[in-house]
Structures are given as structure tokens and as C-alpha cells.
Amino acid sequence: MRIATALAFALILAGPAMAAGPNGGQVVMAEDHPVELVVTDKGLTFFVSEEGGKPADTTGLTGRAYIQAGGKTETVALKGAAPNRFVGDLRAPLPPGAKIVLSARVHGHGLQARFER
């Protein structure tokens, strides 16, 4: 397993506290950034904000989502989209209990956010 993947899943063990966000998804705090995850049957959308709720500019940035479900790990490539989103396509709907880790660089610093479906 690659180091980044191992690190991402090691961070899952802490079990993040989640709240509901303005887009109907789960919100966690990561590196002082509120990050909201919205999951559909076909994709993932992460909404990233700065401290104080201002949208973080993600245009042109990339990231990865690591998904662990059913004993398997999948990596989803993410693209930055205006105004503050990372989006990626799923091969199949996520089952209940899936663990998802966002890993990206946002304006010079690493960002990792952990979610559980």
C-alpha cells in the first residue's frame, strides 16, 4: 500500500465528528477548513471552505479520495471546480459503512478530511 494511502486510512481511526452541511452532506473540520462531502450514486463532491466559512478557491487543483468498503480500497481522482469544490466519479454507489478520505493540496498546504457513510 502506498504511504499516502496508508496515512489516509490511519487517520480514519480517529473517527471524525460529523455535522450536516448547507449542501445536505456531512461536514468535518480538517486543518481549520470546514469540508462537506456530498455523495450521489455516481460521484463525490467535496466543498472546501476557509476559516470563517469563505469558499476556498479550488479551481485548477487536484486531489484524491480514498474509499475503503467491503475489504477493498479504491482511489478516485478529484478535480477542482469553481467555486470551492473537488469532484470525482464513482464506479458504483457507495455501500453503508464506506470510509472516505479526501487528500489534496490547497494553496500550499496539505488537506485531509475523513468521512464515514
| DSSP structure string for 37-48 | EEE-SSEEEEEE
- The predicted pLDDT at position 18 comes to 58
Helix (H) or strand (E) holding 13: none
- The predicted pLDDT at position 108 comes to 85
CA-CA distance, 62 to 99, in Å (whole number)?
A: 20
Q: What is the mean pLDDT of each run of 10 residues along the chain (117 residues)?
A: 40 51 94 94 96 90 96 97 96 96 92 95
Query: The whole model's pTM is what?
Result: 0.83
CA-CA distance, 37 to 13, in Å (whole number)?
A: 18
Instruction: Number of helices (H) and strands (E) in the chain: give both, helices first.
Output: 1, 9
Helix (H) or strand (E) holding 6: helix 3-12
**Please, what are the domains in the chain?**
3-116 (2.60.40)
- The predicted pLDDT at position 46 comes to 98
